[in-house]
Structure 1
Amino acid sequence: MKLTVVGGGSTYTPELIDGFARLRDELPLTEIALVDPDARRLDLVAGMARRMLAHAGHPAKVVATASVEEGVAGARAVLLQLRVGGQAARDVDETLPLECGCVGQETTGAGGLAKALRTVPVVLDIAEKVREHAPGAWIVDFTNPVGIVTRALLDAGHRAIGLCNVAIGFQRRFAAKLGVAPERISLGHVGLNHLTWERAVYLDGEDVLPALLESHGGEIADDIGLPADLIRRLGAVPSYYLRYFYAHDLVVEEQRAKPSRAAEVAAMEAELLELYADPSVNTKPALLEKRGGAFYSEAAVALIASLLGDRGDTQVVNLRNGGALPFLADDAVVEVPARITAAGAVPLAVPEVEPLYAGLIAHVTAYETLALRAALHGGADRVADALLAHPLVGQAALAGDLAGRLIEANRRHLPWAGE
Structure 2
Amino acid sequence: MSRNALKLVTIGGGSSYTPELIEGFIKRQDELPIKEIWLVDIPAGEEKLNIVGRMAQRMVKKAGLDWTVHLTLDRREALKDADFVSTQFRVGLLNARIKDERIPASYGMIGQETNGAGGIFKAFRTIPVILDIVKDMKELCPNAWLVNFTNPSGMITEAISTYGQWDRVIGLCNVPVNAMIDEPPLIGKTTEQLTYKFAGIDHFHWHKVWDETGKNVTMDILDKIEADEGDGGLPKNIFDVPFYRAQLDNIQMIPCGYHRYYYREEEMLDHAIEEYNGVGTRAQQVKRLEHELFELYKDPNLAVKPPQLAERGGAHYSDAACEAIASLHADKKTHMVVSTVNHGAIPDLPEDHVVEVSAQIGAAGAIPMAFGALAPAERGWLQLMKNMELVICEAGVTGNYGLALQAFTMNPLVRSGHTAKRILDELLIAHQDYLPQFADTIAKLKAAGVTVKDPIARDLDKEPATV
User: TM-score category by the smaller chain?
Assistant: over 0.9
Match of 1:375 in 2: 396
- Cα offset, 1:233, TM superposition: 4.9
Distance 1:42 1:236 in 2: 41
Structure 1 residues 136 and 127: alpha-carbon distance in aligned structure 2, compared to 1, 3 A threshold: same
Deviates more, 1:409-418 or 1:212-221: 212-221
Q: Is 1:12 aligned to residue 12 of structure 2? A: no
Distance 2:132 2:305 in 1: 32
* Map 1:261-340 → 2, pairs under 5 A: 261-340=282-361
Match of 2:407 among 383, 386, 390: 386
- Cα offset, 1:216, TM superposition: 4.1
Match of 1:242 in 2: 259
- Contact kept in structure 2, 1:18 and 1:284, CA below 8 Å: yes
Say which SS state the counterpart of residue 102 (structure 2) adopts: helix
- Cα offset, 1:327, TM superposition: 2.0
* Map 1:83-94 → 2, pairs under 5 A: 83-94=90-101
Match of 2:38 in 1: 33
CA deviations over 1:12-59 (Å, ceiling 9, x no partner):
100111111122223332211100112111110111001112222233
- Cα offset, 1:271, TM superposition: 1.0
Say which SS state the counterpart of residue 183 (structure 2) adopts: helix
- Cα offset, 1:181, TM superposition: 3.3
CA deviations over 1:212-259 (Å, ceiling 9, x no partner):
233443335584532362545533221111111111121111111111
- Contact kept in structure 1, 2:187 and 2:224, CA below 8 Å: no
Structure 1 residues 98 and 140: alpha-carbon distance in aligned structure 2, compared to 1, 3 A threshold: same
Give the aligned residue type for 2:195.
S
Match of 1:168 in 2: 177
Distance 1:215 1:366 in 2: 34
Match of 1:59 among 37, 62, 66: 66
- Contact kept in structure 2, 1:94 and 1:260, CA below 8 Å: yes
- Contact kept in structure 1, 2:186 and 2:224, CA below 8 Å: no
Distance 1:174 1:164 in 2: 17
Q: TM-score, normalised by structure 1?
A: 0.95
Match of 1:102 in 2: 109
Distance 1:204 1:308 in 2: 32
Q: TM-score, normalised by structure 2?
A: 0.85
Match of 2:243 in 1: 227
Say which SS state the counterpart of residue 92 (structure 1) adopts: helix
Deviates more, 1:341-350 or 1:223-232: 223-232
Give the aligned residue type for 1:225.
V
Match of 2:216 in 1: 207
Match of 2:28 in 1: 23
Q: Is 1:70 aligned to residue 77 of structure 2? A: yes
Q: Is 1:157 aligned to residue 170 of structure 2? A: no
Distance 2:52 2:224 in 1: 42
Gaps of 5+ in 1: none
Match of 2:432 in 1: 411
CA deviations over 1:184-218 (Å, ceiling 9, x no partner):
33312111100011233444654322322334433
Aligned length: 419
- Cα offset, 1:320, TM superposition: 1.1
Deviates more, 1:218-227 or 1:248-257: 218-227
- Cα offset, 1:365, TM superposition: 0.7
Deviates more, 1:213-222 or 1:321-330: 213-222
Detail structure 1 runs of 4+ shifted over 6 Å in the superposition. none
Match of 1:351 in 2: 372
Distance 1:384 1:242 in 2: 23
Match of 2:273 in 1: 256
Structure 1 residues 256 and 106: alpha-carbon distance in aligned structure 2, compared to 1, 3 A threshold: same
- Contact kept in structure 2, 1:26 and 1:301, CA below 8 Å: no
- Contact kept in structure 2, 1:380 and 1:404, CA below 8 Å: no
Structure 1 residues 398 and 35: alpha-carbon distance in aligned structure 2, compared to 1, 3 A threshold: same
Match of 2:449 in 1: none
Structure 1 residues 228 and 383: alpha-carbon distance in aligned structure 2, compared to 1, 3 A threshold: closer
Gaps of 5+ in 2: 1-5, 235-239, 444-467
- Cα offset, 1:69, TM superposition: 0.7
- Contact kept in structure 2, 1:217 and 1:231, CA below 8 Å: no
Deviates more, 1:18-27 or 1:211-220: 211-220
Deviates more, 1:207-216 or 1:368-377: 207-216
- Cα offset, 1:389, TM superposition: 1.5
- Cα offset, 1:275, TM superposition: 0.9
Match of 1:218 among 216, 223, 227: 227
Distance 2:437 2:29 in 1: 44
Give the aligned residue type for 2:205.
T
Structure 1 residues 416 and 216: alpha-carbon distance in aligned structure 2, compared to 1, 3 A threshold: closer
Distance 1:5 1:416 in 2: 25
Distance 1:39 1:269 in 2: 15
Say which SS state the counterpart of residue 337 (structure 2) adopts: strand
After superposition, the CA RMSD in angstroms is: 1.9
Say which SS state the counterpart of residue 136 (structure 1) adopts: coil
Give the aligned residue type for 2:82.
A
